[in-house]
Amino acid sequence: MDRIRITGGRKLEGVIPISGAKNAALPLMIASLLTRETLTLENVPDLADVNQLIKILGNHGVDVSVNGRRGSQKEGYSRTVNFTAGEIVDTTAPYELVSKMRASFWVIGPLIARMGEAKVSLPGGCAIGTRPVDLFLEGLAALGAEIDVDNGYVVTRARHGLKGNRFVFPKISVGATHVLMMAASLARGETVLENAAREPEIVNLAECLTLMGAKISGAGTSRIVIEGVDTLSGATCKIIPDRIETGTYAMAVAMAGGDVVLEGARPELLQSALDVIAQTGAEITPLNHGIRVRRNGHGIEPVDVTTEPFPGFPTDLQAQFMGLMTMSKGRSRITETIFENRFMHVQELARLGAHITLAGQTAVVDGVSKLKGAPVMATDLRASVSLVIAGLAAEGETVVNRIYHLDRGFERLEEKLSGCGALVERVSD
């Protein structure tokens, strides 16, 4: 099994290209099930989760072809991929595929909207709390779907098609907003989603669905209105740059020191996080082609944060920020409000010498003057990269095990960091 070995103490200098957003790519890929025509996606990252979803879509009959690099882009980044679901050959998403990645459950929306039926295994994915699918099912039921749960599968039917309706999310859910927006695009009449998620990935999906012929307004606000259409067409859509990857590398620079341009990053996608990073003492400068992050030698200032739905501080940057705060010049408090059980990285950071105590949903981090390298183990996608951030500043060698978590969400992480001077390498048994 692969590991990442980091020798700390090197500043980061150079350019890091920001890949397409995994959290935007997955729903856009799933949207290909809504049309018989080809959906072409640009800026598709090469990630384990993306490749797993390609397998799942293939199971339903989606033909996938990769165009490769375009223009002056580096080989391996910014792939263009064509998805053609001419015929849906199977409306069942089996356990052995869905259990490996939670987002694959989202095929339930397009399948029932287009085919009138779907049988989808209950999902797997990161072990960061229960994350139930109740909101998905309540929303689909509001659109007229008959729903049954049998032997670990959700079986849905809409014999006469879905019908538009008003649905109020009892709590904000990005995944359920994605699914209901896709399903409502082929429903009869108008659907109004209240208390909808506002994340940039929601906007990216809405823009793509609109190019396919959907009638959607209000994406990016808490009220989304969808006027259903009979059919959707093919389209060419571009995936937004990954705001979580952007924030992660910005925190890596803030931790290790240096001067890095995050090429292709869009600051408006994570402004709250950039504001917090700036409070720690890093200098954040928007550029025409990305973001410049610099930190001098004055140390890291402690900052308190609370995770919130967009436009607040993202839960997907909480672990990375905790890694940064382990060497701050004081005490910081990090409160997690989105997912329970998302502090599993605390024990691993402690192996490097971090001082962190937990009090319910809040982690209290007392910064230390130095961390020391040690073997550590990744527990989930975001937790794993927090260990990399800490390792960049730790004395000696840090070895991160179970990096298959990293490969799910960070494209060529060791290559991007080593290109800026970090001593980071992948080691195979």
- Is 120 annotated as a binding-site member? no
Amino acid letter, residue 179: V
3-state SS, one letter per residue, for 52-107: HHHHHHHHHCCEEEEEECCCCCCCCCCEEEEEECCCCCCCEECHHHHCCCHHHHHH
Q: What is the DSSP code string of 223-281?
A: EEEEE--S----EEEEPPB-HHHHHHHHHHHHHH-EEEEEET--GGGSHHHHHHHHHTT
Do 351 and 376 form a contact (C-beta atoms < 8 A)? yes
Is residue 135 annotated as involved in ligand binding?
yes
> Is 338 annotated as belonging to a binding site?
yes
Residues 261 and 13: their CA atoms lie apart, in Å, by 8
Q: In what order do the strands lie in the sheet with 331-335?
A: 305-306, 331-335, 362-366, 355-359
Partners of residue 199 on adjacent β-strands: none
Residue 22 labeled ligand binder: yes
Active site residue 126: yes
133: left (phi over 0), alpha (psi -120 to 50) or beta: alpha
Helix 134-142 / helix 108-115 crossing angle, nearest 10 deg: 20
List the Cα angle 180/26/391 in 5-degree steps: 130
The two three-digit tokens of residue 45, written as one number: 């990252």
Half-sphere exposure of 161 (CA within 13 A, CB side): 13
For residue 110, which of 136, 82, 128 has the smallest C-alpha distance? Answer: 136
CA distances in angstroms from 304 to 268, 277, 318, 367, 368, listed in the order given: 21, 11, 11, 13, 16
The annotation status of 316 as a binding-site residue, yes or no, is yes
* Contacts of residue 71, Cβ cutoff 8 Å, sequence gap at least 6: none
In this structure, what is the dihedral angle of CA atoms 104, 109, 114, 116, given to the nearest 10 degrees? 110
User: 134 labelled as ligand-binding?
Assistant: yes
Q: Which of 126, 208, 237, 420 is catalytic?
A: 126
DSSP state of 315: G
User: Does the annotation list 133 as a binding residue?
Assistant: yes
- What would the two tokens of residue 150 be? 């049998």
Please tell me whether 137 is known to bind a ligand: no
CA distances (Å), 74 to each of 18, 68, 244, 262, in order? 12, 10, 21, 15
Residues annotated in a binding site for phosphoenolpyruvate: 22-23
Give the catalytic positions in this structure: 126
Residues annotated in a binding site: 22-23, 102, 131-135, 316, 338
